[in-house]
Chain A
């Protein structure tokens, strides 16, 4: 029982990280990136290329991955979002889905279809406490999530950049009119969002192994979490992620593991019907 809680929370932390990456982009351009899972996969494979193929120290591999993902985020924005500014949002949903297909198949061509493992950045014997085993990697995952949450909270609410983001989200044209560097703000948001999903990828790969097709379901979980917590809501994304991790772990154990992926959607539809703006409210400036 206690073990299930720990495993559920560890899984949920990964979902929360995906959702935090989505949030970064959503809070700036009010667009949901449907390729977030594929960006995660890309992060995992860049890490593997560094740490396994080229045998770099794991910390160096992490640094390279984060820098590379920031760059990927900017290219991603230039291809998928930038040409479609001001057009109906569902076109951007489609271009992000198309970009997800491109990334997934490029990864299949480059790295092949076989699952690969990435070593965890932390070593050491797992902690045992009242019969519950917590691995060092799980602890590291919780710590990373907490650190990123804190960082993102400060960035969004206490810094000048957070205000620029908010202004861009509320009204792109007015923001530009009052001298806000809109394009740069959007580029930074995409870079940061891609970097967060890259980190999530580096954390997933030691547990589940990395394969090019892993992105689809993880990306979808990120949206489910965002829907449960309320899109663009920082604590909502984290609590929603942990909640979904617990639901899946317990559902798989006590109901049926065949329908593991369905619980997320059932919970999501339930939350939508009962609390249309998510459990913690939506951060949306769009006029309804």
Chain B
């Protein structure tokens, strides 16, 4: 894994952000951006590398969050919740993935949208357990044998560590046999099968790993933000996650993080636009897909190439 010096400096600089920002709104927003980045990294396995569309990622995010919230509110120690969440989303991804991953693009899109909608309806209508549309409040925080982060800044560092692990795992998998099989599946399923890649199994693995990323991010979301509601995991959120991936740059780890952070912060900065923000957001997505298919990550690398080449 090669790390460019510019990226290393950017990563280190981001660790210094809390030194200049007080506890509160901005740090909370960054914490959500980091969690979204982990979820988008998960989506990248399925869509960016394996080439399968997936609008179920927000539902996996929600499953992880609700599993953790319900378990800790019922009195289970926090340390078991990451495992519980992971088991839940792996089961859900198998239920969704086994019958559907052989499907072609628009069927897969539809089925994953349907899955997300069913999960959302269950969350909204199973009120005694999930709190319905008003969500769950006062979720117990992260605590391992009595030790846990206090305040948003400590959570920030904890989430940055989680993101770092997510990035390292993603980079390792990308260059493993499985990672190469994913890329081959995206480029040509027939070609991949001919070369001995079990494409259905590869897709299923990508799907499961992606779901685990979302589930664990959901677990951290519930116990660090400590309030969850169905809106955070709706179909709109699923489209937003896909947009983050595309705007950042499909298949690029840096792109995932850039896309997630940009599209989490942008709506807050452009709040004064009101309803017009969403109009511009839609047009912006179309513009990126048409004009810069590799997303922001590719824009950066193209610029670097131009800059490096002699004029």
Contacts and interface: CB of A to CB of B under 8 A. Distances in A.
B79 interface: no
Interface in B120-168: 121, 125
Given A259-B125, A262-B118, A90 B293 contact: no
Contacts of A34: 109
B276 A95 contact: no
Contact of B282 (A105, A109, A265, A286): A105
A273 B95 CA distance: 12
A94 B246 contact: yes
B286 A95 contact: yes
Interface stretch (B80-88, B100-108, B213-221): B100-108
A84 interface: yes
A164 B115 CA distance: 37
B125 A80 contact: no
Chain A: number of interface residues, binned into ranges: 35 or more
Interface stretch (A62-70, A173-181, A191-199, A220-228): A220-228
Contacts of A258: 121, 125
A91 B53 CA distance: 9
Interface in B209-256: 235, 239, 242-243, 246
Contact of B289 (A91, A272, A273): A91
A217 B75 CA distance: 38
B286 A98 contact: yes
B283 interface: yes
A269 interface: yes
Contacts of B114: 220, 224, 264-265, 268-269
Classify the interface of chain A: helix, strand, loop or mixed: helix
Contacts of A224: 110, 114
Contacts of B110: 32, 220, 223-224, 227, 268
A56 interface: no
A83 B290 CA distance: 6
B105 A90 contact: yes
Contacts of B113: 220, 265
B111 interface: yes
Contacts of A83: 290
Interface in B271-299: 275-276, 278-279, 281-283, 285-286, 289-290, 293
B282 A93 contact: no
Interface in A74-105: 79-80, 83-84, 87-91, 93-95, 97-102, 104-105
B289 A94 contact: yes
A224 B121 CA distance: 17
B310 interface: no
A207 to B, nearest CB: 22
Given A89-B106, A94-B246, A109-B276, A99 B111 contact: no
Contacts of A97: 239
A108 interface: yes
Interface residues on B, range: 35 or more
A266 interface: yes
A262 B51 contact: no
Nearest to A31: B106
Contacts of B118: 262, 265-266
Nearest to A22: B106
Contacts of B111: 265, 268-269, 272
A106 B125 CA distance: 31
A286 B106 CA distance: 13
Contacts of A100: 282
A224 B110 CA distance: 8
Contact of B99 (A109, A231, A273): A273
Contact of A102 (B53, B105, B246, B282): B282
Contacts of A231: 106
B290 A105 contact: no
Given A109-B279, A272-B103, A286-B104, A91 B239 contact: no
Contact of A105 (B47, B100, B125, B279): B279
A90 B103 CA distance: 13
A95 B275 contact: no
Given A89-B105, A91-B293, A272 B100 contact: yes
Interface string A253-274: 0000011011011101100110
Interface of B: 47, 51, 53, 99-100, 103-107, 109-111, 113-115, 117-118, 121, 125, 235, 239, 242-243, 246, 275-276, 278-279, 281-283, 285-286, 289-290, 293
CB-based closest 6 A-B pairs: A265-B114, A102-B282, A101-B282, A32-B106, A98-B285, A105-B278
Given A101-B279, A269-B100, 4 more contacts: A95-B286, A95-B290, A97-B239, A272-B111
14 contacts: A90-B109, A94-B243, A94-B246, A101-B285, A220-B117, A224-B114, A231-B106, A261-B117, A262-B117, A262-B121, A265-B115, A269-B100, A272-B99, A272-B107
